[in-house]
Amino acid sequence: MAKIGVFVGTVYGGAEEVAHEVVDQLIDKGHAAQLYLEPLLEDFLEYQHDVALVITSTTGQGEIPENLLPLFVALKDRFPLMPALKFAVIAMGDSSYGEERYCGAGRQFDALLAELQGRSLAVRLDVDACIHFDPMEVAQPWLEALVEALR
């Protein structure tokens, strides 16, 4: 089965909760999934021939949470092309903050990983806190489709 790194950007814990649930389900399906709450570039590069899943909330003006920002900056600065990387992104946000800010962190990560020549396994999932009190309601069918894509 797949080796999957799950890289989390969180402020109040919502994205972390989703990430724990996702990792548990991936492991139950036989995948080797590892959660990273303070990810470093070296952690991410371990998956450049495997699968990276980014699960992130968005802060303030559409920024990346502080715990995930160093990884984003390092990837952008070093710009390691990773054509063997397969990736997916769950972006969590609140649409009441406006279209440009909504899920901004996830949109930025999705775009950067594509620029680094990674291959997206699924269309980015945008989870709107204004509509979905329980983000797993939306993430569950998306995750099931992702697991199918990993076969």
Q: Which of 21, 32, 13, 39 is nearest to 143 (CA)?
A: 21
Domain boundaries, given as residue ranges, for the chain: 3-149
Kindly report the pTM of this predicted structure.
0.94
Q: Is there a contact between 22 and 145 (Cβ–Cβ < 8 Å)? A: no
d(CA 118, CA 127): 22
Nearest C-alpha neighbor of 104 from the set 133, 87, 126: 126
Per-residue pLDDT of the chain (151 residues; tens, 9 = 90+): 899 999 999 988 899 999 999 999 999 999 999 999 999 999 999 999 999 999 999 887 788 999 999 999 999 999 999 999 999 999 998 887 777 788 899 999 999 999 999 999 999 999 988 788 889 899 999 999 999 999 8
**Fold adopted by 3-149:** Rossmann fold (3.40.50)
